[in-house]
Amino acid sequence: MATVLSTKKLTATQKHLLLGAKIGLVEYNAINIEFLPISSNIDLAENAIITSKNAFKAIQEKIRIKKAFVVGSKTAALLQKNDIEVVEVADNALALAKKIIVNHRDKHFIFFCGNKRREELPLQLKQHKISFEEIQVYKTSLNFAKFKQEFDGILFFSPSGVESYFRKNQIANETVFCIGTTTANSVHKYTEKSIIATQPSIENVIVQVVKKYNKS
């Protein structure tokens, strides 16, 4: 039986997808998330850039969002469930930046982000003179753990998770499963043996794992 390591603790439903396919699971949280006090007096964001669920959860009870520009279908669904209009959805931050540049260049945006946010989106917006401000609303810290057990596969959900895992571990013959291209790019420093989810969601990462190891 194949056994995989998830660098994020899964929900009961997500675990069942693996265990039901007779795939063994070890899990831990490679990163910790801490919501921060809002460093601005803003209480309404006309045009909010949200690149993760954590960014939305950090401001959900504090700031009203009129229109959202979002990375990830799951994050978009969470906002829509909270009656927020989602104007644009993209699979990654760079793709979202391109949509904003082409279709919404005259708007002013607020980018709610974490302390380890990547440079692609703000860099593109600055280069194309898109008006925006950035507010840091959560902090990501790395949770190091050393594993002696060998795994058939490792599941990664963010570049920070990749950084955390490889701080204490190396890779041999494991197949790495990534939630998206940004995470995969971080993994490629250590191995080319990776499979990228066709949709940027935890469930789709699990689908790829099941396809790989449950051939029956």
Dump pLDDT digits (tens) for 34-45: 999 987 889 999
- Asked if 23 and 209 touch (Cβ cutoff 8 Å), the reply is yes
Question: d(Cα 9, Cα 27) in Å, to the nearest integer?
Answer: 5
Give the domain-ending residue among 91, 109, 140. Answer: 140
Residue where the block lists tokens 């209009």 = 85
Q: Domain check: are 53 and 118 in the same one?
A: yes
Q: Domain check: are 111 and 76 in the same one?
A: yes
Q: Domain check: are 176 and 196 in the same one?
A: yes
**Across the chain, what does the average pLDDT equal?**
94
Buried-state track 154-167, b at ≥16 Cβ within 10 A, e below 16: bbbbbbbbbbbbbe
Give the global pTM: 0.82
Count of structural domains, the chain: 2
At residue 136, the 3 state secondary structure works out as strand
Give the model's confidence band at 27: pLDDT under 50 very low, under 70 low, under 90 confident, else very high. Answer: very high
Give the domain-ending residue among 110, 140, 170. Answer: 140
**Residue-range definition of the domain harbouring residue 51:** 33-140
Q: Domain check: are 42 and 134 in the same one?
A: yes
